[in-house]
Amino acid sequence: MKIAGKALLFAFALVAAGTAQAAPHGYYPAPAPSYYAPPENAVRIQIGGVGLSTPNGYVCNGYYCTTDSWSALALGGDVDLAIGRGLMSFTIGAHELFAEQNTGYPNIFEPSAGLTFKFLRGTPIVPRLTVGMGLLLAEGGNYGASFRLGGGLTFLANAPIGIALDLVFDGGRVGGTDITQAQLLIGPEFRF
């Protein structure tokens, strides 16, 4: 019986020592762990279609005039550089709008800059809203500027590579002609 009593006393001493080690030490309690999502920069490479139109009914390129609406293929990309904790990003990008050959419509190169607001970060689908300005550089030396407003979704946003889908509305003036456009773009998004 003496051995069983000593073993029980030894086990009780071990339990007491373990709980004493687990108790906080010092006067101040341990700080609560803090976590915030790190900033996320992103690169989107996209392809899509663009519908362009002019409110005055025609576009002239110096040689002849054409009707007021046409479509184009868009290739381009955007880079989001996170500001602060990442809800807002500074976005720079460039898109080339390729009009169909032999139609008389100009190809337009459009570099742009703006702000992108990302919502629901850390989820599989992240919506975003973009506001910015662009330059319109058309064939034949015509140029102008535009205001851009768009929205998009990134699917698989909690993975390093996702799929970006964007709808961008653009209104501006190039070569003395007002142009509005709607761009529907899709492509991979790489986050770093």
Angle at 174 between CA 98 and CA 74, to 5 degrees: 20
The two three-digit tokens of residue 169, written as one number: 């509305």
pLDDT in tens, 110-135: 999 999 999 988 889 999 999 999 99
pTM score above 0.75: no
How many residues would you count in the chain? 192
State which fold the 42-191 domain adopts: Porin (2.40.160)
SS (HEC) of 119-156: CCCCCCEEEEEEEEEEEEEEHHHCEEEEEEEEEEEEEC
CA 162, 150, 93, 103 dihedral sign is positive
Of 13, 77, 8, the residue nearest 45 (C-alpha): 77
pLDDT of 19 strictly over 60: no
With bands split at pLDDT 50, 70 and 90, how would you rate the model's confidence at 27? low
pLDDT in tens, 37-85: 666 899 999 999 999 888 765 556 666 666 678 889 999 999 999 998 7
Average pLDDT, stretch 78-107?
88
- Average model confidence (pLDDT) for the chain? 84
